[in-house]
Chain A
């Protein structure tokens, strides 16, 4: 079961539409896999709606209720009712794909991320049992699908910016915690971890990173000058 969720304030701000694109994207994808957070967002949306559309009378900031406003709204009403009914159209979603493959394994991708599957590059093999495929999400920072095969690991590293990670399939541990499908992980400068997977079917994660990784231990420190390899454009 999913154990790691966005903070309640994050969910509330997500429902308000107040978060940046990257964070919103990752929370939305988490909610696709997490009934609990889906419900929290739904409740928050009801509350936010009530708050946003409540009584307008007592609010001095917007109490400029004059006849000019009324006439603007009247003409707006008039022009809207001239509009035709919307013709049902296929949404941009038509270009989306549900499934990605790696070496004969098939993974189902959460709804929010399906749109980006066509913008996924080829898988490349990194050290050990690690595979990475870049995804052009069109946001600042870099997004990747990363697959850790059974027994595979990523050298211990810290983060120079913020790294959002979502477990799509399987399980992994990082010396701090054990993560399962659906888990949402936000890491920054103060977090050091070394992910590895013992899962028999490995672990597929989706991660967005806004700065290169910084390797902290052993021989992997030598990778630091090359950490852009983990951070491809």
Chain B
């Protein structure tokens, strides 16, 4: 009676958590070897499930299939971002689909909003993004900063020292040095511009 039905059909009764480690291995194989067979396993398990989730969410067959396609394309192209220590394959794939759905719905409503799913849930961010963000802090040693600081004109240095090292407000500095607040502000601005220039040269 079951003759002719592909084996994969039985997938639908296996719960996601019961095949998590198996699916993890397939995704790793996709990441490391671009293994199409492994991807086909992941696809045949998740695509029909995603399709039924997408149908409920989008209420439209074409949009639902678009959601499935975008989600599974990301799984294929960004499998290297999957980390089995952080979560199961089904959670990872769900979060990709949820993000795409969030952005699709916003686009459909024609909102000109600048909020996108990546900002809310950074699921598919390259790990290097954070490293880049902190690189400036890490690559430049305190010693180098000290050197740059020393090369500032004396008056700018005094203002920067009072504000950034002693934690005084600009008004306090103005009172202490008996100079107008505007002068403190312009010295701060000039000093920061100069430091910024030196940091950029450093790169």
> Are chains A and B native binding partners rather than an unrelated pairing?
yes
A binding-site residues for B, Cβ under 8 Å: 14, 16-17, 21-22, 24-25, 28, 45-46, 48-50, 52-57, 59, 61-62, 65, 69, 72-73, 76-77, 79-81, 83-86, 88-94, 96, 98, 103-106, 112, 115-116, 137-140
Given contacts A46-B88, A138-B114, contact A56 B52 (CB under 8 A): yes
Q: Are B90 and A53 in contact (CB under 8 A)?
A: yes
Judged by DSSP, the binding face of B is helix
Of B65, B72, B94, most buried by chain A (CB within 10 Å of CB) is B94
The complex places the Cα of A140 from the Cα of B164 at a distance, in Å, of 36
Chain B nearest CB: distance from A59 CB in Å? 6
Instruction: Knowing A52-B53, A81-B76 are in contact, say whether A104-B163 is a contact too (CB < 8 A).
Output: yes
- For residue B13, CB closer than 8 A to chain A, the reply is yes
Q: Quick check: A57 and B49 within 8 Å, CB to CB? A: no
> Would you call A45 and B55 a contact (CB within 8 A)?
no
User: In the complex, which residues of chain B have a beta carbon less than 8 angstroms from the beta carbon of A103?
Assistant: 169-171
A-B contact pairs, 5 of them (CB 8 A): A28-B121, A48-B98, A62-B51, A91-B118, A93-B125
- Flag if B101 contacts A17 (CB, 8 Å): yes
- State whether A104 touches B168 (Cβ < 8 A): yes
Instruction: Give bound CA distance, A65 to B133, whole Å.
Output: 47
Does B178 count as interface, using CB distance less than 8 angstroms? Answer: no
Q: A17-B98, A45-B87, A104-B163 are in contact. List 10 more A-B contacts (CB 8 A).
A: A25-B120, A28-B121, A45-B94, A45-B95, A59-B52, A80-B39, A92-B116, A93-B125, A98-B133, A103-B171
Please judge, given known A-B contacts A17-B99, A24-B115, whether A89 and B126 are in contact too, CB under 8 Å. yes
Is the Cβ of B73 less than 8 Å from the Cβ of A73?
no
Q: How far is the CA of A105 from the CA of B169 in the complex (A)?
A: 7
Give the residues in chain B near A92, CB-CB below 8 Å. 116, 118
* Contact of B138 with A by CB under 8 A: no
| Chain B residues with a Cβ under 8 A of chain A | 12-13, 15-17, 34, 36, 39-40, 43-44, 46-53, 55-56, 65, 68-69, 72-74, 76-78, 80, 87-88, 90-91, 93-95, 97-99, 101-102, 106, 111-122, 125-126, 128-129, 132-133, 163-164, 167-171, 173, 188
Q: Report the number of A-B residue pairs with Cβ-Cβ less than 8 Å.
A: 166
Query: Cβ of B13: which chain A residues have Cβ within 8 Å of it?
Result: 55, 57
Enumerate chain B residues within 8 angstroms of A69, measured Cβ to Cβ.
48, 51
In the assembled complex, which residues on chain B have CB atoms less than 8 Å from the CB atom of A106? 164
Nearest chain B residue, comparing its CB with the CB of A53: B49
Closest 3 CB pairs of A and B: A138-B114, A49-B94, A62-B52
Residues from chain A with Cβ under 8 Å of B93 in the complex: 49, 53
* CB-contact partner of B12 in A57, A81, A84, under 8 A: A57
A104/B114 contact (C-beta < 8 A), A45-B91, A76-B65 known: no
Q: Decide if A94 touches B132 in the complex (CB within 8 Å).
A: yes
Chain A, residue nearest B120 (CB) = A28
Q: A90, B126: Cβ atoms under 8 Å? A: yes
Nearest Cβ in chain A — how far from B28, in angstroms? 14
Are B113 and A138 neighbours in the complex by a CB distance under 8 Å?
Answer: yes
Tell whether, in the assembled complex, residue A25 and residue B115 are in contact, meaning their CB atoms are under 8 Å apart. yes
Q: How far is the CA of A140 from the CA of B171 in the complex (A)?
A: 36
Contact across chains for B94 and A53 when beta carbons are under 8 A apart: yes
- Which residue from chain B places its CB closest to the CB of A76 in the assembled complex? B69
Give A222 to B35 CA distance when docked, in angstroms: 70
Structural contact, A21 and B115, CB atoms closer than 8 A: yes
Cα of A85 to Cα of B79 in the assembled complex, Å:
9
Decide yes or no: A138 and B115 within 8 Å by CB, A49-B91, A52-B94, A77-B40 being known contacts.
Answer: yes
Contact check, A55 vs B15: say whether CB atoms are below 8 A apart. yes
Q: Report whether A80 and B43 are in contact in the complex, using a CB–CB cutoff of 8 Å.
A: yes
Q: How far is the CB of A52 from chain B (nearest CB, A)?
A: 4
Tell me whether A76 and B68 are in contact (CB under 8 A). Answer: yes
Chain B residue nearest to A116 (CB atoms) is B114
B contact residues around A88 at 8 Å (CB): 126, 128
